[in-house]
Amino acid sequence: MSDPIWRLLLDGRVEGAENMAVDSAVLGAVGARRSLPTLRLYGWEVPTVTLGRFQPVEQVDRGACAGRGFDIVRRPTGGRGVLHDDELTYSVVAGVDDGVPKGITASYRYLSEALAEAYRVLGVPAEITARQRGAKGSAACYLHATHADLSLGAAKLSGSAQVWKGDAVLQHGSFIVSRDSEAEAEVFRLAGAQAVDLDRTTATLEAVLGRRPSVGEMVAAVTGAFARVLGVTLEAGELSGTEREAASIASGAYRIQSVPRCGAPGLTAPG
């Protein structure tokens, strides 16, 4: 029996609200069984702060974001604020019928096994976080680690967030190459020990590897890991017309604050 086919979307650096609208549109289509389960890899046109679905916008310094040229958008998923910049972002949308176990804890663990394998391929011995730790009251996602995250020892590598729609789930998160801790501390109003902890209790690919992995290297690691761990075949595809229309209509609802920008290069599939 052949492996199930999942769709692979390789997008370039996309405007933040559009990224969130596309992820949401794919969830709607996969949940309605109009589209195949999907792994999407993408970047950001400009550094962008994403806030969790129910997170107060007051927890981010809008003036600091404007001064630095950062966008602010709302995620369809829960959780805390994230500054997206030098990273490869993933989103995965699949349903119970595609093998994803029902429930937040079980589904995080199932999908995180593929993420951990991708890190290992890149040379980072990542593990699913064994116990919660960190600043529970912080607005910044990376100051708090949960069972939904990946860690290297006591340092948080990657955070993920989810939302379910019926029997389908959207999970997205980041493979962070480098972190601008000063900017992150400013936009989330971190001071004193919290600002110090942002460097002390987190890790990036560049810091661990001592080099910068290329986008192509990261794409190959992530796609290969998902295919092997989940037992699926990834086939390059594109958004359906229905998904494009839904994303276009919804993008404004995710946009909180934006700055002018120009185009940026896209991702390329692994050879």
Q: Which residue has the higher pLDDT, 267 or 112?
A: 112
| Cα dihedral 159, 164, 167, 171 sign | negative
For the cut 70, the answer to whether the pLDDT of residue 143 exceeds it is: no
pTM of the model: 0.89
Residues 147-201: pLDDT tens digits? 668 888 878 888 899 999 999 999 999 999 999 989 999 999 987 767 667 777 8
Residues 85-122: pLDDT tens digits? 999 999 999 999 999 999 999 999 999 999 999 999 99
Q: How far apart are CA 138 and CA 145, in angstroms?
A: 11
**Residue 262 annotated as catalytic:** no
- Structural domain boundaries of the chain? 5-257
What pLDDT score does 151 carry? 87
- The C-alpha torsion from 101 through 19 and 14 to 113, rounded to 10°, is -20
Residues 190-224: pLDDT tens digits? 877 676 677 778 899 999 999 999 999 999 999 99
Out of 72, 94, 141, 176, which one is annotated catalytic? Answer: 141
Residues 32-45: pLDDT tens digits? 999 999 999 999 99
CATH number of 5-257: 3.30.930.10
